Amino acid sequence: MTHFKKNNFRVQFLFSTILFLIADQVTKFIILKNISLSASIPIIENFFSLNHQYNPGISFGFLSQLPQPWGSWVLGCISFAIIIGISIYSLRLKNATLAEVFSYSAIVGGAMGNLFDRVIRGAVVDWLHFHYFGKYSFPTFNLADAFIVCGVFLIIGMGIKSADLRKSKANIVK
């Protein structure tokens, strides 16, 4: 497993975070310039389409019913606190694995992308929509949401693996 020392980790974390932010914002810019609000463009019939929507809530439309503009302001403050908290935690690590660099920077980069939208547009631009023959529909989301979810799942997976390793080492010692 690749480990980064503190200074290398900081560079990798900052570089990766910026890449995640840029990827999110570039895709949103393309959607804003090419797809009308509320328009839907089928990519894979009855499965996947590009839907330009504004989401005042958080990932996958959660909390979108909060009264506006207070809801956006509260969610923006929460996002900012998460960005600061994870960044401080990440930058204080003495060393980190590639998976840790990826997971923390994905969460921070995604949160920054959605915070940018919330501040500039008052809501987040969502555009990825998976559905199945009109029967099942996953909430529309964006790359930032995907980055955040992947980062969180990766952290959870690393935690489970770490707990399993500690448990197996404890069994060997006995």
Q: How far is CA 89 from the centre of its chain?
A: 17
Q: Is the peptide bond before 56 cis (omega within 30 degrees of 0)?
A: no
CB-based contacts of 99: which residues, under 8 Å, 6+ apart? 1, 154, 158
- For CA atoms 109, 110, 112, 116, give the dihedral sign: positive
At 70, which amino acid appears? W
Q: Say how many C-beta atoms besides its own lie within 10 A of residue 101's C-beta.
A: 23
Exposure letters 31-59 (e unless 16+ CB within 10 A, then b): beeebeeeebeeeeeeeebbbbbebbbbb
Q: Tokens 């949103």 correspond to what residue?
A: 28
Active site residues: 126, 145
The whole-angstrom separation of Cα 81 and Cα 132 is 36
